[in-house]
A and B are shown apart, each in its own frame.
Chain A
Amino acid sequence: MIRTYFDEMYDAGGLVRPHYREFARWLAETPDELLAQRRREADLLFHRAGITFTLYGDEQGTERLIPFDTIPRSIPASEWRIVERGCIQRVKALNMFLADLYHEQRIIKAGIIPAEQVLANEQYQLAMQGLDLHRDIYSHISGVDLVRDGDGTYYVLEDNLRTPSGVSYMLEDRKMMMRLFPELFAAQRIAPIDHYPNLLLDTLKSSSPIDNPSVVVLTPGRFNSAFFEHAFLAREMGVELVEGADLFVRDDKVFMRTTDGPKAVDVIYRRLDDAFLDPLAFNPDSMLGVPGLLSSYRSGNVVLANAIGTGVADDKSVYPFVTDMIRFYLGRADPEERSDVPVSQPFRTFPRTGQSSRSGGQGNPRLRRLRNAGRAGGNGGGNRIVPRADQSQAPRVYRSADVVAVDLSDLCRKRHSSTPHRPASVCIVWPRNPGCARRFDPCCPARRLPGGEFLPGWRNQGHLGGRGLKEACHVK
């Protein structure tokens, strides 16, 4: 049978890939009982530390553990460099696209993207039209989800430019890996990832024209599925974690309520969707937002990261145009990138008529999306992807024109019906100095079955880089 998935550890001939050799040796020497015991230890520690997410619709409000796989996914430095360059290029173009869309709309005038594709999109925010943002940054934090096809080529599954999440699990998982299997880290050169919050803070600070601005993380609250991450990032950055009710707007300026009276807020790293930000401007029922925030934002008194209205650029209907977008914005303007064909090749997708039913129940939106992704068409007609089955949009079904076997999902589905398909995700924060890129690399560990086979596991894993890895890269 032809293998339709990409095995991270073994090549087609059944040989261990070079960057997995060290790991394979370690795995062969490590008894199964020890692995199982370490697994249990990890679960216990995660529970104790409360590294959890909340499952919506569960009456108990049960906090679930993020599944953690003790088998890592390694990405060799040579491969990572390509992924990294592709992601940076992509995010750069998407940012330019957003700035263009809310100003001159050159790309529409040039006939590259049809006007109705973006202007009629519900994620296109009229409030952003003509508004100049400091340093033209729209997507301060971007998450690019990747998958691999049968021959190992990386594809972008989707871009996340609204409020990408998950980076904290990557950091905690890495800590856990180092605690459980220090010998793996001693034997290989692994890129460090711990300084992510530091980079994030730097990005947030530099997004404001003010010197040493007051930064806060805005969370929907502790019942939000990603609350752990919000609290984690606020703590690691040493900034306040606020809820909407902690903020108020006076004279178009944003303040937080403190024990010592009102205190000014300059930058809001918001983990709240556009629709909930300001009940006066968007969803009037939102209890999570801050009345008057949009007006303050439009006056330039506060920075929102990410900006309002970024959703139009990560929408699936825009996604097929990203390659053209990269050529349009970077092809001529950026001589460095000129010779490149866009590095990250997207799926060629096209909208299919009809709506899918919302499958997977009311689970965590991200997980639900992942679960839905990778589900094969019932008639063998190729992979159906249900991207963005979350957030404000009704889910739409897309079909890939070319059949691309997504990662290890086939085998995954067969053996572990409950195991969702897991793409890797790269998180990119906008650099303070253009040209100095910061990036966080993907990882999707394999899972070992009783038979000794490997199956795909969770991506949120501290990854193991191959030998000779010099640059800092991060795993999500």
Chain B
Amino acid sequence: MLSRTASDLYWMSRYLERAENLARMLDISYSLSLMPQDGRGDGLHELAMPLLITGTLDDYLERHGELHAERLLHFFALDAANPASIYSCLGSARASAHAVRGRITADMWENINATWLEIRGIAEQGLSRYGMSRFCEWIKERSHLFRGASYGTIMRNDAFRFIRLGTFIERADNTLRLLDARYEMAGDQAEAVSDGTAHAYYQWSALLRALSSFEAYTEIYRDAPGARHVAELLLLRADVPRSLRACTEEIDQILAQLPGANGRPAQRLAAEMDARLRYTGITEILDEGLHAWLTEFIPLVRQLGNAIHSSYLEAA
């Protein structure tokens, strides 16, 4: 496969996964802002969190000066001038799909194209008219639909592998960052395992719901959510699809299937990461300190992304 084609497929699915993740972030922040913990009651702290996670808060402040609920939401979701907005991510995903429309099925292309046409309509009418929760639901739904169209129609070849590779790299990164941000925000309360306050419950369950893992949590732990179990679930459980471990396992397997000897650095790195998670317990992670551990792991994911780039996407 052409390196450029592989790159477009990879970035198409990365951007699409990113759009979905941003919607998930927005969803949880919006829910939390309705029940703010800082006592001021405006929920701006919660609403600004997604910008902090994605590193776009400074851009926002530069353009809009102060925190303002509606402007924040617009900036994050629909602002075409913000390259990190959901709108821009979908635009980039669609542009990549457009460049390789001959290598994806018509079902996939029409799906992603329709999503793009539709979000432009939503951008015209504005977020408040469309509805915040409805918007997040819609983004997730379109992402599910595209994934379904992909799994249901595309041939199991390298194109399929690069598409999945993009998805899992992006997802691994997102799960790490989201967990880190929530943990930071929960602050001291997080240290108390399952501290039982209504607020902590709300915090952790919102995170679990945002990652569609609430049902998995209750089934596995049958307990109110707390830092220890949530971290274990989202980092180490291979059977939870949005967990870090599930992502590294997939990445490891996909890379092993790609042809060519030039992929070795990426393959080695992925195998190392997967092995590390497989043979780590949550106690070890918490002993090291969750934040410190996460801060160490996030650059590894970036490094793996770079290795994939130099091995396949800029090859020859």
Identify the A interface with B (CB < 8 A).
47-50, 221-222, 227, 231-232, 234-235, 240-243, 245-246, 248, 255-262
Contacts and interface: CB of A to CB of B under 8 A. Distances in A.
Interface residues of B, number: 29
A76 B229 CA distance: 76
B109 interface: yes
Interface of B: 1-6, 95, 98-103, 106, 109-110, 113-114, 117, 158, 162, 258-260, 262, 312-313, 315-316
A50 B158 contact: no
A259 B109 contact: no
B106 A47 contact: no
Given A48-B117, A49-B110, A242-B2, A259 B102 contact: no
A258 B157 CA distance: 14
Given A222-B98, A259-B6, A260-B1, A48 B259 contact: no
Nearest to B98: A222
Contacts of A235: 101-103
Contact of B1 (A221, A232, A248, A258): A258
A320 B295 CA distance: 74
Given A48-B113, A49-B106, A222-B95, A258 B101 contact: no
A232 B100 CA distance: 10
B109 to A, nearest CB: 7
B80 to A, nearest CB: 10
A246 B113 contact: no
A221 B5 CA distance: 12
Given A48-B114, A49-B106, A259 B258 contact: yes
A240 B4 CA distance: 11
B251 to A, nearest CB: 16
A259 B101 contact: no
A221 B102 CA distance: 13
A50 B109 contact: yes
A259 B106 contact: no
Contacts of A255: 316
Contacts of A256: 2, 316
A51 to B, nearest CB: 10
Q: Which applies to chain B's interface (DSSP): helix, strand, loop or mixed?
A: helix
A6 to B, nearest CB: 38
Contacts of A262: 316
Contacts of A47: 117
B98 to A, nearest CB: 5
A259 B99 contact: no
A259 B117 contact: no
Given A48-B113, A50-B109, A246-B4, A259 B158 contact: yes
Contact of B316 (A50, A222, A258): A258
B4 A257 contact: yes
Given A222-B98, A234-B102, A241-B102, A259 B259 contact: yes
B99 A222 contact: yes
Given A48-B114, A50-B98, A50-B101, A258 B3 contact: yes
Nearest to A233: B102
A260 B260 contact: yes
Nearest to A261: B316
Contact of A231 (B102, B110, B313): B102
B220 to A, nearest CB: 38
Contacts of A260: 1, 259-260, 315
B122 to A, nearest CB: 16
Contacts of B315: 257-261
A6 B4 CA distance: 49
Nearest to A241: B102
B98 A261 contact: no
Contacts of A232: 102
Nearest to A227: B98
Nearest to A50: B113
Nearest to A262: B316
A243 B259 CA distance: 23
